[in-house]
Amino acid sequence: MLPWLSARWLAPLALCALLGLGTGVWFNAAQGVPQGTDFLLFVASAQAFTHQLGLYHTFYYAPDVPGGIQFLPDSLALSHNLNPPVLTLLTLPLVPLDLRTAYYVWCAGQVGLALLAGFTLLRQAAARAGFVIVLCVYYPVLANLQIGQMGLLLFALLALYWHAAEQGQVRRAGVLLGLALLLKLFVGLIFVWLLLQRRWAILIYGAAVWAVGMGLGLLLFGVANHRDWLDVVTTYSAGGLNWNASLYGVVQRYTGGMPLPALLPLTLSFGLVAVVWLNQQRQHPASFSLGIALCCPLMLLLTPLGWIYYFPVLLLSALILWQQSENLPHPQPFRRTLIVGMALSGVPQLLTVPESSHLFLWRRYAQDDFTVSWFVAPEVYPLALALLCALPLWLAYKARSTHTGA
What phi, psi does 76 have (nearest 5°)? -90, -20
Look at residue 362 and give its three-state secondary structure: strand
Q: What is the pLDDT of residue 260?
A: 53
**Which residue intervals of 198-330 are DSSP H helices?**
200-235, 247-255, 260-279, 287-302, 314-324
Residue 343 shares a structural domain with residue 201: no
Cβ count within 10 A of residue 260: 16
Residue 231 shares a structural domain with residue 258: no
Q: What is the pLDDT of residue 226?
A: 92
Cα separation of 303 and 247, whole Å? 8
Residue 179 shares a structural domain with residue 305: no
Q: What is the pLDDT of residue 406?
A: 45
Residue 333 shares a structural domain with residue 309: yes
Q: What residues are paired with 59 via a beta bridge?
A: 71
Q: Which of 287, 276, 288, 312 is nearest to 165 (CA)?
A: 288
Cα separation of 392 and 400, whole Å? 12
Q: What is the pLDDT of residue 9?
A: 80
Cα separation of 398 and 405, whole Å? 10
Cite the beta strand spans of 13-80 per DSSP E: 59-61, 69-71
Look at residue 57 and give its three-state secondary structure: strand
Q: Which of 319, 309, 289, 275 is nearest to 381 (CA)?
A: 309
Those residues whose C-beta lies under 8 Å from the C-beta of residue 390, and which sit 6 or more positions away, are none
Residue 390 shares a structural domain with residue 245: yes
Cα separation of 87 and 43, whole Å? 11
Name residue 166's amino acid: E
Q: Chunk the chain into consecutive blocks of 10 residues (it has 406) and report each block's average pLDDT, rounded to whole numbers.
A: 61 89 82 76 91 87 79 75 92 91 93 96 91 95 93 97 94 97 92 88 96 95 91 78 85 67 56 61 69 92 90 96 89 94 91 53 49 66 93 81 53
Listed residues 235, 257, 287: the one ending a domain: 235
- pTM score, two decimals? 0.89
Q: Domain range for residue 38?
A: 1-235
Residue 221 shares a structural domain with residue 253: no
Tell me the longest C-alpha to C-alpha distance in the chain: 71
Q: Which of 222, 241, 260, 239 is nearest to 56 (CA)?
A: 222
As for how many domains the chain has, the answer is 2
Residue 78 shares a structural domain with residue 93: yes
Residue 140 shares a structural domain with residue 252: no
* DSSP H or E stretch at residue 376: none
Q: What is the pLDDT of residue 137?
A: 94
Strands 362-367, 59-61: pairing kind:
unpaired
Listed residues 235, 253, 279: the one ending a domain: 235
* DSSP code string of 306-356: -BGGGGGGHHHHHHHHHHHGGGSSSHHHHHHHHHHHHHHHT---PPPPGGG
Listed residues 176, 209, 235: the one ending a domain: 235
- Asked whether the beta carbons of 327 and 267 are under 8 A apart, the reply is no
